[in-house]
Chains A and B, each alone.
Chain A
Amino acid sequence: MPLSEYLRMAIMMLIFITSAAHAQVAHEFGITSGYMENLTKDSSGTDDRYYTFSEKVRYHPFSRVEISLTGQYTQYDSLAGLSCFLGGGGCTIIPTDEDADISLYISGNMTTQRYREAYKGFNNNNADVAIGMQSTFSDAVRHRAGVLLKSVSYLDSKRFDQKSYEIYLGVNIVAPWENSFDVEVGHGNLEYNSIREEIFGVLPDPGEDELSDTMFIKRNVNSFYISPRFSRPLGSKTGINITFTRRYFGDTDIGYIFGSSNENLSPWASLWEGNAVTSTIKSFLIPACIDTAGVGYWEKRYLKTLEKDQYYLNLAESRVDYQSRFFLKVQRPFAMRGGYFIEPSVYMEYTDNTSSKSLYTYSDWSLALAFIVRK
């Protein structure tokens, strides 16, 4: 073992020993049982039940440092191969004082996700580092800025790997009569592997395994977005917000990717440009409960994709989706003596998705019951 490794271990041991006197550990255990009418979010309409067990441990060696470990296992009833483990750890540092005019947030996390044999091609490791800063020039105006670096590595196929950075600027303004306006602009750059155009129409039966790495080329997506938000209270027990987000890619020709018959697991599931408008209401009208409801509409234009069921590699058309969603969540928190916190909750969601590719035209409703214990 090199000397630097011993030095690193010594520093970590020193941190833990010197902090033991004031350190505290917080535990969080959760269990979720749910049903999804459309598990894979495509036209196959596969429904299933699932159970999730999770544990999170937060260790605070110092008042400005949090070291966290998390583990989560999900078991599916019928589609057992989709069962997976998510584990990871992270560190968050807040070096600024509570009353300071500038707040700084530094966070680093690593997670790993492992599926069973049937889906092991999606096993991946994630690492991200986030830095955020907020300044208060007055009680009514707050500025913020941040940067996020992220890396996703797929264990079985390097061609799915992605690296990205994102930066954002935001301003929050409190207007008279408890009106809050928040505007955020941001830019992101994502590096991914695109299929070379030269192979279009050349190879039959485009099974992904038959393509060598030389048939891919690294490309970058430049993304820009602006997102204004308005929020305010409605009476003394309810709050509402309306948020609009417009995201667009700066490049006119950004390459081609393989699609996937499993929408959620596709490495590019969240990579789209378009508009979104959402509104949520949070209410405390039911005594001792937190009730949240939301409705949203998205127009998504994805990267040009090739689906597995196409026989020849042809120039693929853009996939465009129009999605509407509604959700309702009710939480009942119990803060108990002895430092225990218990919270049962119920969650219901309905999604209607219309796509230019018939494979992705679907509807789905899901229901989940969750129970969490914190100490």
Chain B
Amino acid sequence: MTVSKILPAMFFAIAIVLPGMTSNIVAETAKEQDTTYVDLDGDGCNDNATDRNADGIPDATDRETAENSSAVSEATGFVNFDAGFSNPTVAPRNTSEKFARLSFTTRALCTNRGGFGAGDNFGPGNGIGIGALSAGGCSGGVCRP
């Protein structure tokens, strides 16, 4: 399949699934925190640990969150799409925050660890190589977005 065929297919896929996407943008509310241990991204830490300020450090070990007690992410307004921890205790206020919450439910689906392009990786959630840096980067001319 060529690029010119993929692009139109993506556009029409968006158009087809649109009708069901707009109904619950604003109606989302805060939810109970599920603290059951689960580790889908393979870092050994509990994915269900709460991370209210979305900095990637669970609240139980985050000194900064402890110092600023309630609803920290409401105060910061920051949306972390790469955070490995959940944050259901704060109601999403816009489309980006809602999408970030949906992304969390699919965090183990973005890569497969034995694919042709994944041979040198340490596995999802534990990327190795210069490209593993959060700011992106290149290793000898090979770049990752």
Say which one of A208-216, A224-232, A309-317 lies at the interface with B.
A224-232
For A170, what are the chain B residues with a Cβ–Cβ distance below 8 Å?
Answer: 108, 112
Q: Do A231 and B39 form a contact, CB below 8 Å, given A262-B141, A282-B44? A: yes
Q: Are B123 and A241 in contact (CB under 8 A)?
A: yes
Q: Are A132 and B114 in contact (CB under 8 A)?
A: no
Q: Do A105 and B56 form a contact, CB below 8 Å, given A223-B116, A270-B116, A272-B119? A: no
In the bound complex, how far is the Cα of B97 from the Cα of A329, in angstroms? 27
For B73, what are the chain A residues with a Cβ–Cβ distance below 8 Å?
Answer: 335
Q: Are A237 and B61 in contact (CB under 8 A)?
A: yes
For residue A254, CB closer than 8 A to chain B, the reply is no
Q: Do A31 and B114 form a contact, CB below 8 Å, given A60-B96, A63-B95, A282-B126? A: no
Cβ < 8 Å to B, chain A residues 73-113: 74, 82, 84, 86, 88, 91, 93-96, 98, 103-108, 110-111, 113
Give min CB distance, B111 to chain A, whole Å.
9
For B81, what are the chain A residues with a Cβ–Cβ distance below 8 Å?
Answer: 26, 58
In the bound complex, how far is the Cα of B21 from the Cα of A168, in angstroms? 28
In the bound complex, how far is the Cα of B12 from the Cα of A282, in angstroms? 41
Q: Are B114 and A168 in contact (CB under 8 A)?
A: yes
For B94, what are the chain A residues with a Cβ–Cβ distance below 8 Å?
Answer: 22-24, 60
Residue in A86, A182, A186, A270 whose CB lies within 8 Å of B119: A270
Give min CB distance, B43 to chain A, whole Å.
5
Cβ < 8 Å to B, chain A residues 175-213: 178, 180, 182, 184, 186, 188, 190
Q: Are A247 and B37 in contact (CB under 8 A)?
A: no
Cβ < 8 Å to A, chain B residues 80-115: 80-81, 88, 92, 94-99, 101-103, 105-106, 108-110, 112-115
Q: Are A52 and B108 in contact (CB under 8 A)?
A: no
In the bound complex, how far is the Cα of B81 from the Cα of A335, in angstroms? 13
For residue A374, CB closer than 8 A to chain B, the reply is yes
Q: Are A232 and B44 in contact (CB under 8 A)?
A: yes
**Nearest A residue (CB) for B37:** A178
For residue A56, CB closer than 8 A to chain B, the reply is yes
Q: Are A26 and B13 in contact (CB under 8 A)?
A: no
Cβ < 8 Å to B, chain A residues 47-76: 50, 52, 54, 56, 58, 60-66, 70, 72, 74
Give min CB distance, A151 to chain B, whole Å.
7
For A336, what are the chain B residues with a Cβ–Cβ distance below 8 Å?
Answer: 76, 78
Q: Are B11 and A11 in contact (CB under 8 A)?
A: yes
**Nearest B residue (CB) for A91:** B10
A/B interface sample: 20 pairs, CB < 8 A:
A18-B22, A36-B140, A74-B137, A95-B20, A98-B102, A115-B141, A122-B141, A223-B116, A236-B61, A243-B42, A264-B139, A280-B128, A282-B44, A288-B57, A300-B119, A334-B55, A335-B54, A335-B55, A337-B76, A372-B134
Beyond the given A151-B1, A336-B78, please list 11 additional residue pairs across the A-B interface where CB-CB is below 8 A.
Answer: A11-B15, A18-B22, A40-B140, A52-B135, A63-B92, A63-B102, A282-B44, A292-B126, A325-B128, A331-B134, A341-B80
Shortest 10 CB-CB contacts between residues of A and residues of B: A239-B44, A30-B135, A132-B109, A225-B114, A63-B98, A339-B77, A370-B135, A264-B140, A239-B45, A60-B95
What residues make up the interface of B, taking CB atoms closer than 8 Å to A? 1-3, 6-15, 17-18, 20-22, 24-26, 28, 36-40, 42-46, 53-58, 60-64, 72-73, 75-81, 88, 92, 94-99, 101-103, 105-106, 108-110, 112-120, 122-123, 126, 128-130, 132-143, 145
